[in-house]
Amino acid sequence: MSMGNGEAPSEITLEEWSGTASSKFFKTATITANSSTHFAVQRHGSRFHHISNRFLEAFVPEGFPNSVTPDYVPFQVWDLLQGLSTYVRMMLSTQALLSAIGVGEKSATVIGATFQWFLRDLSGMLGGILFTFYQGSNLDSNAKMWRLVADLMNDLGMLMDLVSPLFPSAFIFIVCIGSLSRSFTGVASGATRAALTQHFALQNNSADISAKEGSQETVATMAGMAIGMLIAHITMGQPIAIWFSFLSLTMFHMYANYKAVRCLSLTTLNCERSSILLWHYVETGQILSPKQVSVMEHVLPLWITSWTSRKFTYLYTRVHLGVRISSVDHLELKELIQLAGSHYKKAKYLLHEKRGVISIIMHKDSTAGDVLQAYIHALVMAHLVEKGSSVYLESQSWMDKHYKVFSLKLRSSGWKLERLLTPSIIWRAHWRRDCLDEKTE
């Protein structure tokens, strides 16, 4: 370009940056050009660094680590380790199962092996449907426990496959039990994983997290299959070595699963977490953080760990949510009508205490906020029962004075109050204020 009127040569600098709006940008090149046609490009960073970053993007969510919760990395590490051990053991159990149905034997028939495999798959399908019917609505509210139970059931299923060749007469029964166990695993693991993915997603990136988890599991699967084939080849024909390898990997698998769920600091409220938070707040006036509560809550069924339980753990076990109104006898029903006309005029729920058990009857038009308020109110009543107080008057007084402050402090501490994670409330009731007031006069 020609310069006129004695103008000084101008210089333009362009910078190339890599990254996304949700992640950290870094400079990759600087381009300098001036009017005298001088053109220079300066690269920043090594080529290996650029390639490694692109490779890493296939396995971690976009914007990592800012786009996920702090417990994402430790959970994924333990989860991938337990997945690796699962795929190694799967090779051993599958080898035993194929041997049991006659693969490699001249006397075995194709139709016989096919029929046995069909019965195995059929029992698993039916088991999955039944498990979903009975526990489907409970998986989201107890994601930690069911995540752990799912993997324990998977361990049982592979154990059944490994045992099946030892009992030829009961082969069908054993493999069907194993298939049932794995069907529970499939339902529970899939449902709880969806809940955990929503927890990890800080930037509405659940789909990206799920996709990257698929890439991580693919690598773990390939590594597990390779190691499993090697171990299966080495231990072939050596029952003691097979069982030692299987049981050792199973113990590691259980430990890795326990560590994985213990890493989670869920911010949603379920029955137990609500109980822990309320108990601590009533006693100290302080709100526990999600990480503090995660250390205190149980990841195994309560009956297994009852000997280590504290009072706040039992608090929620005495609260029954969504009680059927027709299950209440006439004297209790009369008392409920009186309560509806006095203590609960504005609330869309009724609470009834009997022998230390608090029953919650939800109104037909109640919202998710009403359910949470009713449950906190019931927990307050359960706490007062232990002290022998007047549960109706004192619990209502506590709710009037402290519930709003309690809710605000929960939100400021990082808790999500959109809804209480509980099994579906099937039974509700409807009452009208005018009729209730007439009956209580």
**184-220 residues labelled b (16+ CB within 10 A) or e (exposed):** bbbbbbebbbebbbebbbbeebeebbeebbeebbeeb
The answer to whether domain 72-264 has CATH 2.120.10.30 is: no
CA distance 315 to 135: 22
Question: Would you say residue 340 has pLDDT above 70?
Answer: no
30: helix, strand or coil: strand
Cα(288)–Cα(338) distance, integer angstroms = 37
Return the C-alpha torsion angle 429, 432, 435, 437, nearest 10.
100
Q: Where are the domains of the chain?
A: 11-56, 72-264, 270-440
Q: Is pLDDT of 108 > 60?
A: no
Higher-pLDDT residue of 83 and 65 is 83
160 exposed, middle or buried (CB, 10 Å; 0-12, 13-18, 19+)?
A: buried
Pull the structure tokens for residue 218: 């693919």
pLDDT score, position 6: 52
Select the more confidently predicted residue: 117 or 362: 362
Six token digits for residue 380: 């307050």
Up-side HSE of residue 228: CA atoms within 13 Å toward CB? 22
Q: For residue 439, what pLDDT is reported?
A: 41
Give tens-digit pLDDT for 66-96: 889 999 999 999 999 998 998 888 888 877 7
Q: Return the pLDDT at 377.
A: 94
pTM of the model: 0.78
- In this prediction, residue 106 carries a pLDDT of 46
d(CA 1, CA 11): 12
pLDDT tens digits along 317-328: 899 999 888 887
The fraction of the chain above a pLDDT of 90, given in percent, is 24
